[in-house]
Structure formats: C-alpha cells, structure tokens
Amino acid sequence: MKKTPLKGVTVLDMTRLLPGPYATMLLADLGARVIHVAMPKMLDPLLHWLHRGASKKFISRSLYRGKESAAINFKRPSGRELILKLGRRADVFVEGYRPGALEKIGLGYRDLFRVNPRIIYCSISGYGQQGPRRRWASHDINYLALSGFLSFMNDHGRPPAPLPIQLGDLIGGSYASVVSILAALWERQRSGRGQYVDVSMLHGLMSAMVMPFAEMLQGRSFGRGGMALTGQDPMYRTYATADGRYLAVGAVESSSNHRLLELLGRPQLISGLEDPAQWPRIGLQLEDLFRTKTLRQWRRLLENQEVCMSPVLTLKEALREGRVASGGLVHGSILPRQAWLGSPFRFSRSGVGSEQGRDLEIGAQTLKALGSMGISRTELTALRKQKVII
C-alpha cells in the first residue's frame, strides 16, 4: 500500500456544518489521522438539518470518511483537560465555533499552545477573529451576499438566487484552511514552532474573485450575463438546443473559437469576435443556429473537436457518463442510495487515506482513539462513569 503524504500527522477536529468537516475530510484523504471530537449525543447541525434518509447518509459517508469519532463533553472541566491532553500529541487543531467561544472555556489557541508549542491551531469563521462582524451569525448565502458575488446571480429583475454549491464555505473556508494548514506544517519543519491560522470565509471567497474585479475595472455591468465570462461573450456562454436542452461553449482562445465557427459554417463571424460591440449580434445568430439541432446531434458534431463544447448535464447524467465513476470519485451505487464521494487527489507515488464511507456514529471510536493518544484505561473508565465521554 502506498504511503500517504500526511502519514504521521494527527488532527483534532472540533468542527461542524460544512466548511470544517470538508477541510478535515481533505486532510484525512491526504493521510492525516483525524479525530473528530463532538459533544455526546449532539449531532452535527448539517446532518440534523437533512433530517434522515439517503441525503443524510450520503453527507455523513462523504464528510466523515476516514475519520475517528470521539464523544467528549469538553464543556466540563475534566473534558477540557482531556482535550488539552490530546492536544499535547496532536499536530493540528481545527475549530469552527464563533470567535471567542472556545477561548471562554479554556480551549483557545493560547491554551493549546501552552501544552504544545508545535501545534497548528486553525479557526474557521465567517469574518475572521477581529473586526465588527466577527460574532455575526452567518452562513454561505451571507458570505456570497457581502462579497458582492450574489449580486451577479440576479436575472431580469428577479431576486438573486444562491448556488447549490456553497462556494463561500468551500472555497473561502475549506480550501483556504487546508492550504493554510499545509503551509504552516511546512513552515514548522524549519522553525520547529506551531502557529495560529485565522481563516475568514468572506475574505477567502473574495480572494477568488479575480475575474469579477478585473471586469469591474473595465466598467462592465455586474448583472447576470453582464460580464464577458457570464454570458456577454458569445464564445463563453450556454445555448439552447432544438430539444430544449443546453450546451456550454467555452471557446475563448482564437484557435478554438475559429475552429468552432468554421465547423458551424459561420466563418464570417470570426472577424467580429474582437469587437465587444458585435458580441450581441453574434450571440443572436448562434442562438438561432444551435436551436436547429438536438443536443445529441451537436455532441456528435462538436465533441472532441478542440472547440471547448460540453453538454449541460443533469447530476444523474454526469454520474452515468462514466467520467466521474471511472475517476474513482463516486463509490458505491447511487441507485440503491448507498454511495459516497471519494477523494479528488491522485499522486504518482503517494496514496490517499481510507475512502471507506460509513455513517457517522458519534463516539464510536472514543475509547480506541483516546487510548492510542496516551489516555490510560483507568482514566477512560473514570471519565465514562462521569459521563464526560461515551
């Protein structure tokens, strides 16, 4: 079995909802040992929100794969001391509570640093640990709104619609956290010291908005379809087909858009691509043209022709296409509803962590996880009697 990149790294995961669990899931994929700590009998609010059934199982098996679950009442003094003992042996501590919440109960960065100066302590929050908004209650839609991103999603006077993918949570929170943690671990190799990582989901999201900021400097409109890459450029937008389906065109390079227009029998439109004033005229002509054939017919004509054309698939179609399944991203079977998402990482020499999906059972590995972190059997027995752990 191939050795994983983060083999030997231990992560204490005290996160809930989506940003933190997804971040620690990625760390587990990379081979870190992740011990997820939760209050006894307190289900992750995300799983509670999904209530029950296939959706809840899918989220549970995807976000908590490869992790150990320990149930610890860390609000009690003995539970707090137990977390600090675990912190002595951990490399990374990740939390997603409101700023100051863990500090109040003695589990802030300074508390963990006192017992382990090498620890990387990562806090994921909406607006960072400082500033007037730091204690605001917010979710992904709020970060999208405050970043300006949600304003792009208005459509002809209708209210802006949030996306089904939580970009603020995942880009601003999860991926920003993982990159920061990996950088801090690498820096520790040189300095021998840990450090505090402050991740703001709003800031992380805004840092990814390179193209919107660039277009703003050109004075473009920001309504849906008002920017070059949101539908204004006829070579980067979607088109309806004869059967009511859609195809996506992303032919921004001259080599691909010239070839596309030649295959479509419209080479006379090539000269107008350099002039944004002609884009609406070109777009209307292509709209009429793409409505003359079905999506299947256009796929036969344009796929694999170096013109950056793709069908707009439903999620079920995307799974059936084979590209996702053959890449090892989806495990199990969607139809019996026993599936989960796997790791996106692929290495030439290194392996990835366990991708075995299993339902989250809070506290299922408490004794095993704590015992392997140096907590004696006598202490574990006493803690169970006190109902500090289950």
- The residues that are catalytic are 139, 169
Taking CA atoms, 55 is separated from 174, 253, 259, 337, in Å, by: 21, 40, 43, 9
HSE-up of 312 (CA within 13 Å, CB side)? 14
Return the CA Rg of the chain: 25
261 closest CA partner among 286, 281, 239: 286
Give the C-alpha separation, 282 to 56, whole Å. 46
Give the C-alpha separation, 171 to 348, whole Å. 26
Contact 263, 299 (CB under 8 A): no
The answer to whether the Cα torsion of 67, 357, 62, 390 is positive or negative is negative
In 177-226, the DSSP E strands lie at: 195-200
Q: Helix, strand, coil shares of the chain as percentages rounded to 5?
A: 45, 15, 40
* DSSP letters for 263-274: HTT-GGGGGGGG
Burial 24-60 (b: 16+ CB within 10 A, else e): bbbbbbbbbbbbbbbbbeeebeebeebeeeeebbbbb
User: At 239, which helix (H) or strand (E)?
Assistant: strand 236-240
Taking CA atoms, 153 is separated from 9, 169, 204, 222, in Å, by: 41, 18, 19, 9
Question: Which of helix, strand or coil describes residue 172?
Answer: helix
Mode of pairing for the β-strands spanning 10-14 and 340-341: unpaired
Give the C-alpha separation, 388 to 79, whole Å. 6
Phi, psi of 132 (to 5 degrees): -70, -25
